[in-house]
Structure 1
Amino acid sequence: MIPDSISAGQHDAIYNIFSLVIASQLFAALFMIACLPRILPRYRQAMIVAATVCGIAAYHYFRIFNSFNSSFVTDSVGGKGDYTQAAGEGFNEGYRYVDWLLTVPLLLVELVAVLALARKLQTSLLLRLVPAAALMIILGYPGELSGDNSIRTIFGTLSTIPFLYILYVLFVEMTKSLGNQPPQVRSTISRLRILLVATWGVYPIAYLLPQLGFDGAAAWTGKQIGYSIADILAKALYGLIIYRVARIKSFADDPSFAENELSVEEAREVLGNSERAKSPAGRN
């Protein structure tokens, strides 16, 4: 539940973290668009999706930032006293869920797109991952709105079912398709999936805080900070790692592109790793 008042320190912490998220998402998106010529055309779709995710997040955090500033006001000189909810205003937590409804499925789209899998396999993965991601967010929203812990538990449990299915597809089904990827891509994708799961794990923890007995201004402040940090890692950092994967695959696919982008020594190392991965000995 949104508290009736927060301290000046809590207000400043939330204000600053929202500002950090806006800057992180906005400039990550600009960086990804600017770097499109640094990867082969077949991987640019993944980067455009990644930039779109960060752009959507930047927009929604701007709305969240404005909603927060309108909702909590103070009469103290210099803003050193407590901030209370303004009459007729309310912090709109729904912006987060609209953001997640759009960006969480797209995070999975960019992961599948950057692997450049066979069209049939790519379609099969997306038809399973995208609806499950959307369902996970939709089922979590009624619980987030409710002040009744039993309702939160019900919808939190329902939301966990598609989450577990996503984990199964990412760590079981997708693993089967990684055999022909360059070694650096396989290791990076493994770390990327762990990053995704670790950052997504912040959301259910914050969701469960009221059931665990943590409530009030301090818990609410912690939730806003936790959500914000998780969003930076799961969108901006995740997108930059997708860019790294796209670069590695571009080098492996086109030796002349690698030679133009890298030093001679770096190009030889990348191409050497790629050739070893293609050999029977390299795959074993």
Structure 2
Amino acid sequence: MIPDALSQGQFDIVYNFLSLVIASQLFTALFLLISLPRILPRYRNAITVAIIVCGIAAYHYFRIFDSFKEAFVTDALGGAGTYTQAAGASFNEGYRYVDWLLTVPLLLVELVAVLALARKVQAQLLFKLVPAAALMIILGYPGEISGDTGTRGLFGLLSTLPFLYILYVLFVQLTKSLDLQPAGVRQTLSNLRWLLLLSWGVYPIAYLLPMLNIEGANAWVGLQIGYSVADILAKAVYALIIFKVARIKSFADDAEFARHESSHDEFAAASRER
């Protein structure tokens, strides 16, 4: 599905979106690291996992970025012209699957960790979600690298089964735990599940494109844009929402901590006004 050539505009679009993802993941991780003291210790595990997820994503996007620049080159002066695949080099989509194998289970760990449930309940949820997430990615990869439509369809179907199980756990079993959360975060936590579903929905669509004979440079560029936007939503934006939930729950759990943080925010606002 990787095209033989890209126009200058197509190359620039992919180049800029890959750069955007790297910046989003890196600076989200930096913000969360600096902000760890602004939530209670019981919620810091969730944010630490979010930092790790963004760090892993940033690393792999650096590798994807380098692979892209090595795979498509031009002889035009000033780097302006048609970009063709370099001899002996190819764009490595495998980096994405390695990234997903690590980060997709951890995204579910973030959600469970910020709920701060009883240890037994938390362990039960993780035992269901984490293996299913890893299995979903592992089963999808053989189909991704296969040029045979039947093989691709078979492994696509197999990877859908753990995906449906994850949805069942998130939207049926996890709902009982959401009812135990403070009223101020219930809707936000519920919406997080939809954010995951929305962002993950890009991947099966991309998986189906070769089976529908949708190929060419424009389709490939659109695919890279979709992957980039989905990864920003599923990792950086998701992590910031998890942090917001942790802040609200920290305030609800400890009135003294809430007063201290509120006074800090008021001081910072007054300093900006001056």
Tell me the TM-score normalised to structure 1 length: 0.91
In 2, distance between residues paired with 1:210 and 1:151? 12
SS of the residue corresponding to residue 84 of structure 1 reads strand
Q: Which residue of 2 aligns with 1:185?
A: 185
Q: Which residue of 2 aligns with 1:62?
A: 62
Q: Which residue of 1 aligns with 2:135?
A: 135
The equivalences for 1:11-90 within 5 A come to: 11-90=11-90
Q: Which amino acid aligns with 1:157?
A: L
* Percent identity (aligned): 73
Measured after TM superposition, the shift of residue 263 of structure 1 is 5.9
> Which ranges of 4 or more aligned residues in structure 1 deviate by more than 4 Å?
none
Q: Which amino acid aligns with 1:137?
A: I
SS of the residue corresponding to residue 215 of structure 1 reads coil
SS of the residue corresponding to residue 35 of structure 1 reads helix
Q: Which amino acid aligns with 2:83?
A: Y
The equivalences for 1:1-284 within 5 A come to: 1-262=1-262
In 1, distance between residues paired with 2:24 and 2:94? 21
SS of the residue corresponding to residue 176 of structure 1 reads helix
In 1, distance between residues paired with 2:94 and 2:59? 14
Instruction: Name the stretch that deviates more: 208-217 or 191-200.
Output: 208-217
In 2, distance between residues paired with 1:260 and 1:212? 57
Measured after TM superposition, the shift of residue 79 of structure 1 is 2.5
Measured after TM superposition, the shift of residue 223 of structure 1 is 0.8
SS of the residue corresponding to residue 211 of structure 1 reads helix
In 1, distance between residues paired with 2:150 and 2:76? 39
Q: May I ask how many residue pairs the two structures share in their alignment?
A: 265
In 1, distance between residues paired with 2:178 and 2:12? 45
Tell me the TM-score normalised to structure 2 length: 0.94
SS of the residue corresponding to residue 262 of structure 1 reads helix
In 1, distance between residues paired with 2:60 and 2:159? 22
In 1, distance between residues paired with 2:34 and 2:105? 24
Measured after TM superposition, the shift of residue 78 of structure 1 is 2.5
SS of the residue corresponding to residue 212 of structure 2 reads coil
SS of the residue corresponding to residue 81 of structure 2 reads coil
In 1, distance between residues paired with 2:260 and 2:149? 58
In 2, distance between residues paired with 1:145 and 1:219? 18
Q: Which amino acid aligns with 1:252?
A: A
In 2, distance between residues paired with 1:84 and 1:160? 35
**Superimposed CA distance per residue, residues 149-182 of structure 1 (whole angstroms, 9 cap, x where no aligned partner):** 2211111111100000000000101101122211
In 1, distance between residues paired with 2:151 and 2:11? 29
Q: Which amino acid aligns with 1:143?
A: G
In 2, distance between residues paired with 1:44 and 1:57? 20
In 2, distance between residues paired with 1:222 and 1:139? 24
Q: Which amino acid aligns with 1:41?
A: P
In 2, distance between residues paired with 1:80 and 1:149? 36
SS of the residue corresponding to residue 84 of structure 2 reads strand
Q: Which amino acid aligns with 2:77?
A: V
Measured after TM superposition, the shift of residue 212 of structure 1 is 2.0
